């Protein structure tokens, strides 16, 4: 029996599902009556999504459609960090949404401080863009997972490598 148990806290996004969600959103937009004749586009870059539409109202509708498709495809809408909506020429509006993949150092420090303040007997370690939690008791690890699930850190958290 192992003396120490551990698990990793990660924030990963399945890019294939993001691509599928974008394609489904584009299909729905092409079939909707309120978008007939509009110049609406959603483009997937390496780690961001560019959204363009005729006006700010339609842009917000496109963002809502996209978030709905994300949820249906099993991708958390928290994986999108929406940038500022910019107004272009002829009333067009555009926005960039950054895809959050991995846990930033600031978020990792926030997670560590939350775990330490709970007084659960576990050790935390920040590894690149993930967090490793180790402890002698599996119940402490389960309690830590429940603690992290109960709080909102504005990122999607997954728990992997539980051993």
Same domain membership, residue 88 and residue 138: no
| The domain boundary residue, chosen from 49, 77, 99 | 99
Q: What is the DSSP string of 56-98?
A: HHHHHHHHHHHHHHHHHTT--GGGEEE---EE-GGG-EEEEEE
40-56 pLDDT per residue, tens: 999 999 889 999 999 88
Which residue, 161, 147, 10, 6, is CA-closest to 76?
10
Decide which of 29 and 90 is more confident.
29
Cα 76 from Cα 88, distance rounded (Å): 29
Which residues form the domain of 93?
Answer: 15-99
* Residue 7: strand, helix, or coil: strand
User: The domain spanning residue 111 has which CATH number?
Assistant: 3.30.70.860
77 and 42, same domain (yes or no): yes
Nearest alpha carbon to residue 126 among 110, 145, 149, 146:
110
pTM over 0.85: no
Which residues on neighbouring strands pair with residue 135, listed in sequence order? 5
* 35 & 81 share domain: yes
50: domain CATH number?
Answer: 3.30.70.990
The per-residue pLDDT for range 89-136, each reduced to its tens digit, is: 777 899 999 998 889 889 999 999 999 999 999 999 998 889 999 999
Q: What band does 155 get if pLDDT is binned at 50, 70 and 90?
A: confident
- In 3-state terms the chain splits into helix, strand, coil percentages (rounded to 5) of 40, 25, 30
Given this model, what pLDDT does residue 2 score? Answer: 53
Asked if 81 and 54 sit in the same domain, the reply is yes
Using CA atoms, how far apart are residues 21 and 18, in angstroms rounded to an integer? 5
92 and 22 together in one domain: yes
122 contact partners, CB below 8 Å, separation of at least 6: 115, 133, 134, 135, 140, 141, 144
């Amino acid at each position: 029996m192992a003396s120490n148990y551990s698990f990793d806290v990660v924030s990963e996004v399945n890019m294939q599902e993001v691509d599928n969600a974008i394609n489904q959103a584009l299909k729905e937009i092409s079939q909707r009556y309120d978008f007939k004749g509009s110049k609406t586009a959603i483009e997937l870059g390496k780690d961001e999504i560019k959204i363009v539409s005729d006006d700010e109202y339609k842009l917000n509708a496109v963002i809502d459609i996209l978030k709905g498709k994300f949820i249906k495809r099993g991708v958390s809408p928290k994986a999108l960090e929406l940038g500022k909506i910019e107004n272009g020429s002829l009333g067009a509006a555009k926005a960039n949404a950054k895809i959050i993949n991995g846990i930033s150092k600031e978020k990792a420090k926030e997670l560590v401080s939350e775990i330490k303040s709970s007084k659960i007997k576990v050790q935390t370690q920040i590894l690149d863009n993930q967090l490793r939690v180790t402890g002698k008791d599996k119940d402490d690890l389960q309690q830590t997972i429940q603690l992290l699930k109960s709080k909102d850190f504005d990122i999607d958290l997954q728990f992997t490598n539980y051993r």
